[in-house]
A and B are shown apart, each in its own frame.
Chain A
Amino acid sequence: MNQEIPKPLRNALARQAVGDAHPSPDVLTSFVERTLAPVESEAVTHHLAQCAECREIVFLASNAAEDEVRDGRELVAAAAGRAAGMPVYAATSRPDAARAEASRHRWTIRTRWAVSVAAAALLVSAGLVLQFRHAASEYQTAPLTVASNRPAPASPEARQNAATASSREASAKPAVPESLAKAAPHPMTAAPAKKVPEATTMARNASDAFPSAPAVQPAARATTSQATAGAAVGGVSSALVPEVRPQSSYVESESAQKSETAQSLQLQQRAPVLFGKSGMGMKAASAVRPQWRISPNGHLERSMAANQWTRVLDDQPVIFHAVAVMGSDVWAGGNGGALFHSSDRGEHWSKASLAANSNVETGAIVSIRFDDPQHGVVAFDSGTRWATTDGGVTWTTQ
């Protein structure tokens, strides 16, 4: 790009007059966040064209915001290191940074334990495989918990770990080979996918489904936990139940579901081998639980890792104001009465329409609250509230 302009033009540009008033920080912030009304935005642009100081401010603020998004936790940590003697700016004081930092420490410890326990469990599994090969018919009918409770030809510590894990959560994580698991399905592993508010239960069609931005890695998704019911507005519930990917009848074929469900089950079965204890597998799964937020620009964003946010539903011309998460169900609402629902943590979306007597609600959704997957309330800027008691199949005004 040419850095030069004609001399008369340069002079005219430099001689533009600045008015006596500057936009307030609030207005400049809204300008940077692109949330100003068009008329005001035009007026601010007009001022910025003339005022070098305000241009400096908006560019500094914009660059700082971009750096924070880009550098995330690393910059916070580096800044904290440099800021010895600046006590009020402790990096880990920010809740998300603190959580990320604590999570990283926990993971370091867990990884050490997991490696040693996994090695021991591997030996146990190898021994079991050999024994299973000699007595396959016997194990086909035997409860799988027996298999996981078998004495392991390993160290006493490993045996104790295996026994503890088996007695505590044996049914959730049987440490058996895939072939045996298929031959003798455990009641837990063979159970159908956990019932969640199905995509098909809402009034929707294939054209309403919006594939979101970059998909999650299959392995991560397979180990992601299914959140339990509980109040979770704008956040994420704690996850304790192994996830089997919800069926999505309008997107995937049945065979694809079966294939993926089988893959998911296989990964679950490997979990004890990978993590030693099923409990650790559960905690590992919680680490890839997506987080949701509405960006300052009104974009819906999802994070699968600390401070790595990806915009979702970016093809929708909607300024989002609210997002609510209930297990794998995500609800997001914004301007124009736009209400979107995903039953698979944002992989696929459908648009819900709130209407009564053919009058479609077109206000801005400012709040979404779900107390459980079935019961939720959506509030509009006009004060109107819509409630559902069936996971969004039907809505009524309050």
Chain B
Amino acid sequence: MIGEFSAHHYEDSGARQFGKSPADLAETLAEVVSQWNRNNAAAEIAVRNFLATLRLEELVLARACAAGDNRAWEVFLNRYRATLYESAYKIAQEESAARALADSLYAALYGVDAKGQQRPSKLRSYQGRGSLQGWLRTVVAQEYVNLYRATRRETSLDAALDEGVQFAAGEPDVSVADPRAETAAAEELAALTAEERFLLAAYYLDHRTLAEIARLQGVHESTISRKLERVTSELRKRIRKRMIAAGMSPRQAEEAMQDVDVRDLRVRVDETLRQGTEDLSFYKEKSGNQG
């Protein structure tokens, strides 16, 4: 099936201009499909649909760049280098950081590490599942998060204080008086859908704006606002009900449900609500640096 698909779309993919044969294209596609379908459980129709969604031309271009094809690099730079810089600046919001970010990523795309040693090009990992332009934005964002994380570890206390960084207390105050309240909230939260929990986390923990969340989900921000209002309202009722069912008095439940300003919150990862995601086929193993 992949060979047939490859033969049909060979001319449209642009593989010929980079000296790739239909067999080369089929090999690339087979690799992409195997990455997606790791447990080999997808039906033929699902594979066919998956192939149809691939950005074939961009995938071929990325693979040709990763293989060191000069013509491919010429095309790539003409199309995407402005995107790279724009994304780096918009994400870093500061010129020197944007430069460092873009330089770092360029080296990774070109297949050179910080010491100038050859290594596999990051473009080799592009699977054609989203647009190459969008993928570049994502890897810029990922690189930024990694760099920021590394920089934070290296920042001295004095430097941080000079920059006005506010350090939180050693241990975040996330405890409540009654463990029954914690249990009730955790159970009710776990009963929510993934989307509802995502909305709560993005809005109340990350302080993303309604507009940002709405843009990501492709809906109007009033839709997000209504969802959040509904979810929090229902959660309050359910948690309170569960606390009372667990033996707390209505007054105790009311006290436990006092609002707090989440801007004072520090996120603490806990294993108590571990919800398995490791077996999902599209996940890759977590390494030192994400991505």
| Chains A and B are bound partners | yes
Chain A residues engaging chain B, CB cutoff 8 angstroms? 1-30, 32-35, 37, 40, 42-43, 45-50, 52-68, 75-76, 79, 82-83, 85-86, 88-91, 93-95, 97, 296-297, 321, 363-364, 366-367, 379, 381-383
Q: Find the B residue at minimum CB distance from A45.
A: B194
Given A8-B181, A366-B9, is A82 in contact with B89 using a C-beta cutoff of 8 Å? Answer: yes
Q: Are A26 and B278 in contact (CB under 8 A)?
A: no
Q: Mark B116-144, 1 if CB is under 8 A from A, else 0.
A: 00000000011111110111011111101
Chain B residues engaging chain A, CB cutoff 8 angstroms? 4-5, 7-9, 12, 48-53, 77-87, 89-91, 95, 99, 102, 106, 125-131, 133-135, 137-142, 144-145, 174-176, 181-182, 184-186, 188-189, 194-195, 197-198, 200-208, 210, 212, 215-216, 218, 225, 228-229, 232, 235-236, 239, 256-263, 265-278, 280, 282-286, 290-291
**Cβ of B12: which chain A residues have Cβ within 8 Å of it?**
366-367, 379
Given A56-B145, A58-B216, A296-B131, is A64 in contact with B176 using a C-beta cutoff of 8 Å? Answer: no
**Cβ of A75: which chain B residues have Cβ within 8 Å of it?**
86, 90
Q: List 8 A-B contacts (CB under 8 A).
A: A6-B258, A10-B265, A13-B200, A43-B277, A49-B195, A49-B200, A56-B141, A83-B85
Cβ-defined partner of B99 (8 Å) among A17, A57, A86: A86
**Cβ of B236: which chain A residues have Cβ within 8 Å of it?**
6, 9
Q: Are A79 and B78 in contact (CB under 8 A)?
A: no
Q: Find the A residue at minimum CB distance from B209.
A: A1
Most buried by A among B49, B91, B198: B198
In terms of DSSP, what is the predominant structure of the interface of chain A?
helix
Given A57-B141, A94-B79, is A24 in contact with B48 using a C-beta cutoff of 8 Å? Answer: no
Q: Are B267 and A11 in contact (CB under 8 A)?
A: no
A37 to chain B, nearest CB (A): 8
Given A20-B278, A66-B215, is A79 in contact with B89 using a C-beta cutoff of 8 Å? Answer: yes
Q: Find the B residue at minimum CB distance from A50.
A: B275
Q: Are A22 and B8 in contact (CB under 8 A)?
A: no
Q: Are A296 and B53 in contact (CB under 8 A)?
A: no
Q: Are B85 and A86 in contact (CB under 8 A)?
A: yes
Given A55-B202, A57-B141, A57-B145, is A1 in contact with B225 using a C-beta cutoff of 8 Å? Answer: yes
Q: Are A29 and B176 in contact (CB under 8 A)?
A: no
A351 to B86, CA, bound (A): 38
**Cβ of A83: which chain B residues have Cβ within 8 Å of it?**
85, 89, 95, 99
Given A8-B182, A8-B257, A379-B8, is A16 in contact with B273 using a C-beta cutoff of 8 Å? Answer: yes
Cβ-defined partner of B260 (8 Å) among A1, A4, A48, A90: A4
Given A18-B269, A19-B277, A34-B218, is A29 in contact with B135 using a C-beta cutoff of 8 Å? Answer: yes
**Cβ of A364: which chain B residues have Cβ within 8 Å of it?**
49, 52
Q: Are B215 and A62 in contact (CB under 8 A)?
A: yes
Cβ-defined partner of B239 (8 Å) among A8, A46, A88, A383: A8
Q: Are B275 and A14 in contact (CB under 8 A)?
A: no
A324 to chain B, nearest CB (A): 12
B209 to chain A, nearest CB (A): 9
Q: Are A1 and B129 in contact (CB under 8 A)?
A: no
Q: Are B278 and A19 in contact (CB under 8 A)?
A: yes
A59 to chain B, nearest CB (A): 6
Cβ-defined partner of A52 (8 Å) among B225, B261, B267, B275: B267
**Cβ of B194: which chain A residues have Cβ within 8 Å of it?**
42-43, 45-46, 49
Cβ-defined partner of B129 (8 Å) among A27, A60, A65: A27
A323 to B200, CA, bound (A): 39
**Cβ of A62: which chain B residues have Cβ within 8 Å of it?**
212, 215-216
Q: Are A8 and B184 in contact (CB under 8 A)?
A: yes
**Cβ of A297: which chain B residues have Cβ within 8 Å of it?**
218
A68 to B8, CA, bound (A): 34
B78 to chain A, nearest CB (A): 6
Q: Are B130 and A26 in contact (CB under 8 A)?
A: yes
Q: Are B134 and A29 in contact (CB under 8 A)?
A: yes
Q: Find the A residue at minimum CB distance from B87.
A: A64
A230 to B99, CA, bound (A): 43
Most buried by B among A27, A64, A75, A90: A64
Cβ-defined partner of A4 (8 Å) among B87, B235, B261: B261
Q: Are A15 and B270 in contact (CB under 8 A)?
A: yes
Q: Are B257 and A64 in contact (CB under 8 A)?
A: no
**Cβ of B259: which chain A residues have Cβ within 8 Å of it?**
2, 4-7
A45 to B202, CA, bound (A): 11
Most buried by A among B49, B77, B142, B265: B142
Q: Are B130 and A296 in contact (CB under 8 A)?
A: yes
Cβ-defined partner of A40 (8 Å) among B86, B131, B282: B282
Q: Are B83 and A68 in contact (CB under 8 A)?
A: yes
A296 to B138, CA, bound (A): 13
List the 3 shortest-distance A-B pairs measured between CB atoms, nearest first: A29-B130, A89-B85, A381-B52
**Cβ of A34: which chain B residues have Cβ within 8 Å of it?**
218
Q: Find the A residue at minimum CB distance from B181.
A: A8
Q: Are A6 and B239 in contact (CB under 8 A)?
A: yes
A380 to B231, CA, bound (A): 43
Q: Find the A residue at minimum CB distance from B7.
A: A383
A382 to B49, CA, bound (A): 9
Q: Are A12 and B189 in contact (CB under 8 A)?
A: yes
Q: Are B129 and A29 in contact (CB under 8 A)?
A: yes
A93 to B290, CA, bound (A): 30
